[in-house]
Homo-oligomer: A and B are copies of this chain.
């Protein structure tokens, strides 16, 4: 062992990068086509890469899924209409579609059954930007006095998202437009600032 850490030179050159992208794309394609009924072997074949390569670079299933997600950003335009009620209705609609996406369902389902505790971190990282944007939306409404300031923004966001996650990934009964409206209305009622009716 030499003193100055001999730190092996990384080599993120052309081929490795090409493989990264091919594998990530393969994961996404498979989620779309087969929901979550596929294995590492399928990913390797689809990417035109040897199984061993996939296992070496993505030791856990979570890392492999995360790789797929890294090039997958749904356009989640968190609304900012200036009014809490219309924001919530628009967001509920958006969320219902977001969680109906085969990739999203596949990711959620796969990671839910992953015994590796780090699997849940993958989901959290993936959702983080969306969650932050939604919390910001709640906070804007608080600033406008439309939402009672003492309520937990995190809990409000959970109350709006969790029902859709549960329905699409677990119960697997499609949500109707009416139900989307009902959820939004309940959230609006829950958050209304009593002093500004």
Question: Which A residues are closer than 8 A to B by beta carbons?
Answer: 34-37, 108-113, 115, 117, 120, 123-124, 151-152, 155-156, 158-159, 161-163, 165-167, 169-173, 179, 182-183, 185-187, 189-192
Question: A170 contacts which of B35, B120, B185 (Cβ < 8 Å)?
Answer: B120
- A113/B115 in contact, CB under 8 A: no
- Compute how far the CA of A162 lies from the CA of B179 in the bound complex, rounded to whole angstroms: 14
- B115/A36 in contact, CB under 8 A: yes
Please give, as numbers and ranges, the residues of chain B lying within 8 Å of A171 by CB-CB distance: 120, 123-124
Copies in the complex: 2
Closest residue on chain B to residue A127 by CB atoms: B171
- B172/A166 in contact, CB under 8 A: no
15 A-B pairs (CB sep. < 8 Å): A34-B115, A37-B115, A111-B170, A120-B173, A151-B186, A155-B163, A155-B182, A155-B183, A155-B186, A159-B183, A161-B166, A162-B162, A162-B166, A186-B190, A189-B190
Please give, as numbers and ranges, the residues of chain B lying within 8 Å of A163 by CB-CB distance: 155, 158-159, 162
Q: Contacts A109-B113, A162-B163, A170-B108 hold; do A186 and B37 have CB atoms under 8 A apart?
A: no
Q: Contacts A112-B108, A165-B162 hold; do A117 and B186 have CB atoms under 8 A apart?
A: no
Please give, as numbers and ranges, the residues of chain B lying within 8 Å of A37 by CB-CB distance: 115
- Compute how far the CA of A189 lies from the CA of B147 in the bound complex, rounded to whole angstroms: 12
Please give, as numbers and ranges, the residues of chain B lying within 8 Å of A156 by CB-CB distance: 186
Name the distance in Å between A153's Cβ and chain B's nearest Cβ.
11
A120-B171, A159-B186 known; 5 other A-B pairs, CB under 8 Å? A108-B170, A159-B159, A161-B166, A162-B165, A189-B190
- Compute how far the CA of A44 lies from the CA of B67 in the bound complex, rounded to whole angstroms: 36
- Compute how far the CA of A186 lies from the CA of B148 in the bound complex, rounded to whole angstroms: 11
Please give, as numbers and ranges, the residues of chain B lying within 8 Å of A187 by CB-CB distance: 190
Of A123, A182, A183, A190, which is in contact with the most chain B CB atoms at under 10 Å from its CB?
Answer: A190
